[in-house]
Chain A
Amino acid sequence: MDGVAVRAVATKRVWAAALSAAWLLGLVASLASVVRYKTSPGAEGPTPARWPEASTLPHSPGRNTLVLFLHPECPSSRASLAEFNWLMNDALVRETTDGVVVFAELIQPPDPHAPFSSWARAAEVPNTVRRLDVDGAEAARFGALTGGHAALYDGDGALRYSGGLTNSRGHQGDNVGRRSVLAVVTGSGRAAPHRPVYGCALHDPTDATEEPP
């Protein structure tokens, strides 16, 4: 190989090395943007400290009621519903707590037979009822603006926990919110009264905080 060819190869490799370095930075930036997106919480309204009288949702006196608001189409709803299901499958929780999953009403109702349908999955959760939130009235009563918002009221109607059941957007697995609900119900362990909510905006499409780009 003559000198010109050697220099050409060397130049090409310098460019390739520079490109690789830039690529590495881009890779880190992409991962960072994912983390940022996943850990950005949704909006919340004030959750009433007492069970709203005007609510039409079932609440049995003497029993805890865990209400979960979901957007029926949002992919993050699957993670929140999965955590809700995990809690409701706990024997102690099921013994003392009733579940209510409230789906936001959409103009175009989702296909209940579609794969991964949250509406269909919610029907399989023990000790739980499904409700369609017409015009978002219940969400407004409970101050729920983002899908995945859960509120736990005890048998006296007092709010014991408000917030998400996942630690980030669409992320299943052990998290503080789930543990807090469990701690409240079982009376053991540390319980945080509030955690951020991760999910899709339930009603207001113009809210910029719902879905960052």
Chain B
Amino acid sequence: MGKTNRPKKILLIEDDPTQVFMYRSQFEMDGFVFLSAPNGEEGLALADKEIPDIILLDILMGKLGGMETLEILKKDSPTKIIPVFILTNFVKQEIEQQARQLGAEEYIIKSQIMPKEISKMIKKRFEKQ
């Protein structure tokens, strides 16, 4: 049923162009609309403008890191309901707990979970709705 609807919009906030390129390929292949922003600031602006269906958020970034971005996303009412998956290589329990407390639904370690699996996780998340 969900598949017949309009394609879902993914926003990836990530500063490494190589990774953006990789995820773009995978998600576009899987039929998502893919948007990306190189840092928290631009990510927030894009999220406000486009209201994506899901946000994938990196943690270690230059202008405005992932945690701060997440906090603002969850405060701001139009972006409040958008599910956020943290997508990072920063493995630290405290950070993960903090992120979940702030409202992140998943904490994905990039080097452990492959793009295809992330794509499947996102599809599953939308089937729930």
Q: Do A and B come from one complex?
A: no
